A and B are shown apart, each in its own frame.
Chain A
Amino acid sequence: MRLLFQKLLNGIAIGSVYALFALGYTIVFSILRVINFAHGAIFTVGAYLTYALTGAAFGRNGQLRNASLPLELNFWIALTLGALGAGVLGVIVERLAFKPLRQRGSDPLLTLVSSLGVAIATVNILQYLFGAENYSFGETLGSMPASVTLVGGELPVVIRTKQIVIFAVSMVLVVALTLLVNRTRTGKGLRAVAEDLTTARLLGIDTDRLIRLSFFISGVLGGIAGALIGLAGSFNYQFGVTIGLKGLAVIVLGGLGDIPGAVVGGLVIGVAEAFVPAEYNAYKDAVPFVVLLVVLLVRPQGLLGRAQVQKV
């Protein structure tokens, strides 16, 4: 019983990481019906930005050897600023890789590849500048204990404090996002653009601005995710890649474009991974993709999405 509870906790912990990442993915998809593969790169940049803003130094192996900024901000402040920076990067990516293609009415698959090109370039620029080293954030939780024991005794059920933080943040963010989309005027605009871009434009909605906004939000989310996940472990220039692929499975499971779906999808996949029996641990990595395949074949709209009606 205790084991079950622990596994569930583990699953939720892993799952909130996926969920946090997937939120940014899903926002762009919900507006533009394209997968922004550069999200993984923005996620990584967010982590690097936050790191730089805390005044920490980079290693010796990139072009910018031992570089560090002359300021030393508190982690949470650095995170906020870093996330904003990542948001700006998201807008830049939109300009470069998405807008020209959208104006031409290109196939969304082309946008996918173009965003991938941006991702590859960005991540490798990070390596070129800062080297391939791992970085981590040190003791940012201050006096808070490293782990929390939920059920004591001989075989305690524990969870790391950082995981609690990540879970809390993803919950807060999903609520904030849902409120934004459903309760504000801007959100209404976003929903209109998501429904039909041309009609929205015809109705006088400034679609370009809204698209930029959604990329900005997506970038901010990615940046927060990057810094927090980097906090929980460590990060390097490639750590957005695996999460990026798993993130695809998460958003498909939850329903492409559905915001609460991203969180649900993340948690479900996290729990599924946690419950893989130890003998089959080797296959753990296949879980998100098997889930992805099953969902695509059985219920492509995902758990929370609406069934797509094919219009003739």
Chain B
Amino acid sequence: MHIPDGYLSPATCVTLYAGAAPFWWIALRRVKRALNTRLIPLLSLFSAFSFVVMMFNLPLPGGTTGHALGVGIAAIVLGPWASILAISTALLIQAIFFGDGGITALGANCFNMAIVGSLVAYGLYRVFAGHAAVTARRRVIAAGIAGYVAINAAALCAAIEFGIQPYFFHDASGTPLYAPYPLTIAIPAMMIGHLTFAGIAELILSAGVVAYLQHSNAGLLQFTAPESASEGLPRGERAKGRSLWLALAALLLLTPLGLRAVGAAWGEWSVRDFADPQARRQMAGASLQHVPPAHAPNGLQRLSSVWTAPFPDYAPAIVRNQSFGYMLSGMFGAGLIVLAGIILTGLNILIQHYQLRLHGEASVTSNAGEQNR
């Protein structure tokens, strides 16, 4: 799912670089704090390992290739932030040195694989592993699930990025300037291969390596096990956070119920609804039998042309199946909200950092105290 140069418009590339930047920033600060430990060589090793893993290409139907990422184990051993840096490094070296995924698309690739991948893998691992012992079987299963979902989340992001190109970026005659396939094609093409081969490869890799570590070097799994959580939210808060995510997931799954509703919601009428007899009857029915005015109000007419939402009527033009389009829009919308939330959280953490700095945080370049046996 590496995106080469030329598939994403500059606007998309810049947006994704901007989206990745706060995460890189935070990750760097966190890792710098741990520079005086064995994290650096370990991080570089996982980065190299991920690079090598990505070389094992599996041919997929549709002429593309899929591969495992190694993001699952990176997040499980190193924690999410170091994992972000590790996978981003592997992608950078691939882009520059091996010309595998473009330089302009680096932000996008890092956003999908390093950032979304790491956060999803880490989050799911923590949720499913719970408070199990470091050597428990449950952690192996959690690792497998985390890796599988993470790589598919990354693939979905890439597919969406591909798929929206034809809508936004074409020239006057309608020629797509970048990736030419709409969402209806991009998403299945990408997801089929990742829900199957690549996803299973990542599952086996994540679960296999965790099992191996449990038996040969269990200390490495300590960092993401609750007993040693250094950036600890108190237990109660973590539970609350978890239930929020579950609730969001449940809501997403229930979106198709919205299709059962007939007609437009009250007040959300468009200009042409005022002219359409059937729509007028609905409006009246919903408004205690008050008859709507003959023409749309002036203000409504003037302002309705200001913003044409990317997905008018919640379904992209080319999507034939209405329910599919509806759900897609729902997920896209929820995704945007989550993204906004993550960015805002990131900004919040940044602001807190600076406040701490102003009030004299202890020096970050400390000492060789962390000797390891």
Task: Tell whether A and B belong to one assembly.
Answer: no
Interface of A toward B, CB cutoff 8 Å:
none
